Amino acid sequence: MLHYALFAEDHGLEDASETSDVAGVGLKRPAAGGTSERGGRKRRAEAAVSAQATPLSEEELEEEVERALTLLFAGNRDDCSFEELYLRAASNTRVLASGRDGVNRALIAMEEKNKVMHREGRIHLI
């Protein structure tokens, strides 16, 4: 649930509990007192999870990033955005505790091993 909440906040999606039906036709508008309060709670929740979880070692983090890329590259895909990768990998609280910089370091290590190419926010399978 935390993962969806963080994704929704980053991408401007609204939680159903924060909206009200407009004229009964399914159109949604933010309910009174909604987003700013919940956004603060989401950030505090992410910080709490990060503080409680032990960050992964560099090798473990690289394995988790590779696992996430395997799932993202299933089928005909051979590239994805850093955001897609981070959202997939951050479902593991220990990856979340390692942060975006940790995932970026793992990508650099994988690039040095000629597994992926990471340029301008895109990750390409080699």
42, 65: one domain: no
User: Nearest Cα to 50, choosing from 100, 125, 114, 108?
Assistant: 100
68, 110: one domain: yes
48, 75: one domain: no
11, 32: one domain: yes
45, 28: one domain: yes
- Looking at residue 126, its pLDDT comes to 87
Structurally, the chain folds into a number of domains equal to: 2
Average pLDDT for 24-44: 55
pLDDT band at 17 (very low <50, low <70, confident <90, very high): very low
* Residue 94: Cβ within 10 Å count: 19
Average pLDDT for 34-58: 69
72, 103: one domain: yes
77, 36: one domain: no
pTM to 2 decimal places: 0.61
Whether 63 shows a pLDDT value over 50: the answer reads yes
The residue assigned the tokens 């999606």 is 13
62, 48: one domain: no
Residue 92 sits in a domain of what CATH number?
Answer: 1.10.10.10
Of 32, 52, 72, the residue that ends a domain is 52
Q: Are 82 and 121 in contact (CB under 8 A)?
A: yes
Q: What is the extent of the structural domain holding 68?
A: 58-125
83, 117: one domain: yes
